[in-house]
Amino acid sequence: MGYLNPDQQKEIRLKQEQKLSKSYYDRVNYFCQRKRLGYDKRNHRVKGLSCNNWSCARCRPKMKQELFYKVVTASMVFGLDKHIILTVPGRNYRNKVTVEESFELLRYDFMKLRKVLKYHLGDIEYIAMMRSQTDGYAHTHMLANKFIPQAFLKKKAGKYPNIGFTSIRQNTDVAKYLTNDFWKDHEYVIPDGKRHYSCSRNVAPYMAKNNEKSEDIKSFELNDNYNIFSQIEKVVYDESKYPVPLETMLCYLKPDIRPRIGG
């Protein structure tokens, strides 16, 4: 058996990483609509609540849609009609840095670059979205309200080792991004636990989670160490003094499986 040179090792590792994260994103989170339940007092119904993870194939389309409307609204309110793209450098860099590291490092340099831009141009309103390129490595789509001359951006960004390609365009490019790349699924395959967007302070209220949960719904999390049915029974009884709904009881007739309830 021969040895693998660093390039070959790198290639194998990259393929494994990609395979891992893609398949991870292609499935529905096992706990989605199983772990957290909601008891709807008004309709006397128990239902499984969505997990709201970007990696969950059931939740992601809905979350993308929500993010899209928020981004569009904020863009109109703050005039975020400039589209800035930052990517990590090319091949040599990527041979040394893993996909996961690239997200951490780009975020770090992006934060520093933002401070420099603020120093020269004043406050900038923006939304920045960390995404994956087709090979998995990090890049940022930033929508901003201030025009930054390309040469200036390139010069400033050039001081940071984790930023390679930069581009800034206006108007049609924002629309093009929001109707094309924004929706591409591979863009969302980013390391677990990394934030999918960040924004300036004034924009933040427009990006906040809308709490659409009605006051009639009592949400609770199941604890695997206790009998599931009695946990549901307790919540339903505490809230309404009714017994558990029949359809929910039927779900738990076979105690070795935990079925998905409601939806």
> Is 97 or 189 the residue whose CB approaches Zn ion more closely?
189
Choice from 21, 29, 87, 140 touching Zn ion (CB under 5 A): 29
Choice from 21, 32, 38, 138 touching Zn ion (CB under 5 A): 32
The label of the residue with tokens 């400039």 reads 82
Choice from 46, 49, 56, 130 touching Zn ion (CB under 5 A): 56
> Is 35 or 186 the residue whose CB approaches Zn ion more closely?
35
**At its nearest, how many Å lie between Zn ion and the CB of residue 59?**
3
**At its nearest, how many Å lie between Zn ion and the CB of residue 56?**
3
Binding segment toward Zn ion, per CB under 5 A, in 47-55, 168-176, 229-237, 255-263: 47-55
The label of the residue with tokens 């096992």 reads 30
Size of the residue set binding Zn ion (CB under 5 A): 7
Q: What are the strands of the beta sheet with 126-132, ordered from one edge?
A: 166-170, 82-87, 138-144, 126-132, 198-199
> Is 51 or 199 the residue whose CB approaches Zn ion more closely?
51
Q: Is 59 in the site for Zn ion (CB under 5 A)?
A: yes
3-state secondary structure 168-223: EEECHHHHHHHHCHHHCHHHHCCCCCCCCCEECCCCHHHHCCCCCCCCCEEEEECC
**At its nearest, how many Å lie between Zn ion and the CB of residue 33?**
7
Q: Is 58 in the site for Zn ion (CB under 5 A)?
A: yes
**At its nearest, how many Å lie between Zn ion and the CB of residue 81?**
33
Q: Is 37 in the site for Zn ion (CB under 5 A)?
A: no
d(CA 82, CA 146): 7
Q: Is 51 in the site for Zn ion (CB under 5 A)?
A: yes
Q: Is 34 in the site for Zn ion (CB under 5 A)?
A: no
Phi/psi for 132 (5° steps) reads -95, 145
Binding segment toward Zn ion, per CB under 5 A, in 56-64, 85-93, 112-120, 200-208: 56-64
Binding segment toward Zn ion, per CB under 5 A, in 12-20, 48-56, 196-204, 232-240: 48-56
**At its nearest, how many Å lie between Zn ion and the CB of residue 263?**
11
> Is 32 or 99 the residue whose CB approaches Zn ion more closely?
32
Binding segment toward Zn ion, per CB under 5 A, in 59-67, 85-93, 145-153, 165-173: 59-67
Binding site for Zn ion (CB under 5 A): 29, 32, 50-51, 56, 58-59
